[in-house]
Structure formats: structure tokens, C-alpha cells
């Protein structure tokens, strides 16, 4: 037997509470009657009442609640085999993990804001495979294409500025690594979400974009950071905070290259977005653009489908309440050949 909603199991705690309440109520009633009526009057009052029926009514209520709780936790037994066909896309997310992603113009910083966005996107995926690439001056595939969204989130959590040892921002390298992450030879149903906060520090970006286009990959470049740019923080061993400076001693500001991102999007048929504008660009792009793309049929699988049996405890619970409502506590005695209350 299996259960579909064990979170309702805590409602069983109502049973001992109700039992205690009915015991307390019965004793309080007996004490009150003994206080306000003598023994002879007490005997006359209870003569017309069936004590077994009176005790049965709370038993029916408690039993009915027990069955309703069993119905809520959705018991399942018995199963049938069902062939499930899955359709979806292959989505690679390439995240910039260079030191400039520690800039705090988006709270708590650009990197954490981007990771939060990625996990929100993963949360709404259904049937799409996802892979994670981290890049800075080089790019690495951290999570290959998978349907295990929990594992993908764990890889996202572990991405930081130490995930890629070489500094800088190699967008072309990130795109080339993403191309290798896609499996098979079918040149469609492929999406690359590229998240970065700075200018490319390598050449031949557009050559990588052209290669992605030939492989049927649609790129959605997502910029992160404010237009005016932000300083890159540094924290020394004593916890003192400073900012990255150039050779002349001026604070370096990390700025986006929106023109480059727009070119990448236009060249591959994607759409440019930005994190830090108060919206949720990854979810919006997925719902308005990606979800409308043609999906390929993935491998079919046979799955066990357990039969829901909540109807039985639900019926028994309702039956208990009906019986409690129609149950008459009064005794019936034979008088002059017909039944009447005493």
C-alpha cells in the first residue's frame, strides 16, 4: 500500500483529543446530574434513554473522522502499467562565475541573484532536460543533460568564483562548451541560456555563435548588472573590503556589453533579457518563448500507476456521520401492541 499525501497524517492527533473530550464531557454530565437530582429522579430521567446508543454516537463521530483522515492521505493499492511518452527540449544554462559577479549592484550580489533565477526556472520545468555550464576565462560542463532537477539545483548551489580557475570572461568558450553538451545529431530542440555580467575578454565570439546556429541552438543571452556598472569587491584575509583597481589606481567598474548580447540573440533567433530589473526574466523567457518551441519526443517508458482507493474510507466516514445523525438515543417499549417512546 502507498499513500499520496502523508502530510495530512498529523490530523490523526485529533482522535485522542476527541476521545479525551468525550470522556470529560460524560463525567461532567454525571457529576452535574448527581448534584442537581436525587437517586430516584435520576433513575426516572435515564429510564427513557438507551445508554448503549448514547455511547455509540461519539464512537461513530470519532470513527468517521478517522476514515476521513485516511481518505485525505490518499491510500493506493493495486496498479496497472502505463506507457508514458515524454516531450521536451534540451536546455543548457551557461553561468558566468568570474569575480565581477560578486558586484553588489544587485543584492546580495550578481552571482547569487543569477543562481536564484536559475533555480526558479528549474522549478517550473516539466519534461525538459537541463545541463549546467560554469565559465569565466575558461568553461566547464558541471552538470550534463539530466531530468533530475534536484541534482541540477545542487550543481547550481555549488557554483562560485572558484569553480573556474582561469579569470576573465570567455563567452565564446562558454558557447563552444555548451555545443558539446548537447547530445545526438538532431539539430533542433536546443536552447542555450547564457548569463553574464561583462564584456567578452576573448576573441572569436561570433564564430562560436555561428557554430551554435549551425547546430540548431537558439541562444537567449541574459545580462546581469545595472547599466552604470559596479565595482568588483575584494575581501582580504582579515575580512577587510576593497575594490579592484586598474594600474592607475582607479576603481574598475564591471559593465555589460548589451550590443554583443543583442547580436547573439538576433543571430540565433533568441531574445535578450536582463536580471535586476525587478522581473523574473528566465521564467518569462521560458513561458513566452521557450515553451512555444517545437518539442521532440523523448524515449517512452512504462510506469506503474497505483490505483487510488480513497473512495472507500471516504464512503465509510460519511456513513458513520449519517448513522450518528439518525441514531435515536431514546428507548422504545411495547405498549398496547405498538411502539412508542417511554
Strands (E), the chain: 2-3, 75-84, 87-88, 90-96, 129-135, 139-146, 190-196, 217-224, 230-231, 233-235, 241-243, 253-254, 273-275, 296-297, 301-308, 332-335, 338-341
Predicted pLDDT at 202? 64
Rounded CA-CA distance 297/87 in Å is 4
User: Confidence band (pLDDT; 50, 70, 90) for 270?
Assistant: very high
User: Confidence band (pLDDT; 50, 70, 90) for 336?
Assistant: very low
Q: Is the pLDDT of residue 183 over 80?
A: no
Q: Is the pLDDT of residue 340 over 60?
A: no
Predicted pLDDT at 32? 72
User: Confidence band (pLDDT; 50, 70, 90) for 139?
Assistant: very high
| Close Cβ partners of 185 (under 8 Å, ≥ 6 residues apart) | none
Rounded CA-CA distance 212/228 in Å is 31
Rounded CA-CA distance 49/7 in Å is 41
User: Confidence band (pLDDT; 50, 70, 90) for 339?
Assistant: very low
Residue 274's SS3 state is: strand
Q: Is the pLDDT of residue 174 over 80?
A: yes
Predicted pLDDT at 234? 79
Q: Is the pLDDT of residue 46 over 70?
A: no
Predicted pLDDT at 203? 66
User: Confidence band (pLDDT; 50, 70, 90) for 65?
Assistant: very high
Predicted pLDDT at 264? 94
Q: Is the pLDDT of residue 154 over 50?
A: yes
Mean pLDDT confidence for 269-291 = 84
User: Confidence band (pLDDT; 50, 70, 90) for 338?
Assistant: very low
Mean pLDDT of the chain: 84
| Per-domain residue ranges of the chain | 2-80+305-341, 87-297
Mean pLDDT confidence for 101-127 = 92
Instruction: Give alpha helix (H) positions in 48-107.
Output: 51-72
Q: Determine if the pTM surpasses 0.75.
A: no
| Close Cβ partners of 112 (under 8 Å, ≥ 6 residues apart) | none
Mean pLDDT confidence for 160-164 = 92
Q: Is the pLDDT of residue 279 over 80?
A: no
| Close Cβ partners of 126 (under 8 Å, ≥ 6 residues apart) | 88
Predicted pLDDT at 36? 66
Q: Which of 212-226, 244-258, 305-319 reaches the highest mean pLDDT? A: 212-226
Phi/psi for 233 (5° steps) reads -75, 150
Mean pLDDT confidence for 207-218 = 94
Instruction: Say if residues 140 and 134 touch (Cβ distance below 8 Å).
Output: yes
Task: Identify the bridge partners of residue 143 per DSSP, sorted by sequence position.
Answer: 132
Predicted pLDDT at 293? 87
Report the side by side order of strands in the sheet with 217-224: 139-146, 129-135, 90-96, 190-196, 217-224, 273-275
Mean pLDDT confidence for 143-166 = 94
- Residue 210 to residues 38, 74, 218, 255, Cα–Cα distance (Å): 101, 53, 11, 25
* CATH number for the domain formed by residue range(s) 87-297: 3.40.50.410
Mean pLDDT confidence for 227-242 = 80
User: Confidence band (pLDDT; 50, 70, 90) for 337?
Assistant: very low
Which one is predicted more confidently, 152 or 187?
Answer: 152
Rounded CA-CA distance 252/243 in Å is 8
Mean pLDDT confidence for 155-176 = 93
Amino acid at each position: 500500500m502507498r499513500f499520496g499525501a502523508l502530510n495530512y497524517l498529523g490530523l490523526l492527533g485529533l482522535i485522542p483529543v476527541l476521545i479525551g473530550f468525550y470522556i470529560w464531557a460524560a463525567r461532567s454530565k454525571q457529576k452535574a446530574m448527581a448534584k442537581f437530582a436525587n437517586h430516584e429522579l435520576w433513575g426516572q430521567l435515564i429510564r427513557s434513554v438507551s445508554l448503549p446508543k448514547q455511547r455509540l454516537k461519539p464512537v461513530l463521530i470519532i470513527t468517521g473522522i478517522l476514515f476521513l483522515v485516511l481518505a485525505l492521505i490518499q491510500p493506493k493499492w493495486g496498479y496497472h502499467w502505463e506507457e508514458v511518452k515524454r516531450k521536451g527540449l534540451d536546455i543548457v544554462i551557461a553561468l558566468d562565475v568570474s569575480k565581477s559577479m560578486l558586484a553588489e549592484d544587485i543584492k546580495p550580489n550578481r552571482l547569487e541573484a543569477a543562481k536564484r533565477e536559475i533555480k526558479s526556472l528549474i522549478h517550473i520545468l516539466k519534461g525538459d532536460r537541463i545541463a549546467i555550464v560554469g565559465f569565466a576565462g575558461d568553461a566547464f560542463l558541471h552538470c550534463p543533460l539530466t531530468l533530475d532537477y534536484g541534482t541540477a539545483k545542487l550543481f547550481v548551489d555549488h557554483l562560485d568564483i572558484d569553480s573556474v580557475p582561469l579569470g576573465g570572461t570567455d563567452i565564446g568558450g562558454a558557447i563552444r562548451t555548451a555545443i558539446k553538451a548537447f547530445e545526438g545529431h538532431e539539430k533542433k530542440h536546443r536552447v542555450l541560456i547564457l548569463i553574464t555580467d561583462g564584456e567578452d575578454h576573448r576573441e572569436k565570439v561570433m564564430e562560436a555563435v555561428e557554430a551554435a546556429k549551425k547546430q540548431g541552438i537558439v541562444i537567449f543571452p541574459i545580462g546581469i548588472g545595472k547599466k552604470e556598472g559596479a565595482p568588483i569587491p575584494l575581501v582580504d584575509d582579515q575580512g577587510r573590503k576593497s575594490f579592484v583597481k586598474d594600474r592607475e589606481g582607479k576603481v574598475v567598474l564591471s559593465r555589460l556589453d548589451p550590443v554583443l548580447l543583442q547580436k547573439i540573440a538576433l543571430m540565433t533567433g533568441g531574445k535578450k533579457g536582463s536580471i535586476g530589473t525587478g522581473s523574473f526574466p528566465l521564467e518569462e523567457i521560458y513561458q513566452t518563448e521557450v515553451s512555444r518551441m517545437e518539442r521532440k519526443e523523448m524515449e517512452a517508458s512504462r510506469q506503474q500507476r497505483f490505483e487510488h482507493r480513497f473512495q472507500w474510507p471516504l464512503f465509510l466516514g460519511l456513513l458513520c456521520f449519517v448513522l450518528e445523525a439518525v441514531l435515536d438515543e431514546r428507548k422504545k417499549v411495547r405498549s398496547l401492541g405498538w411502539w412508542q417512546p417511554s
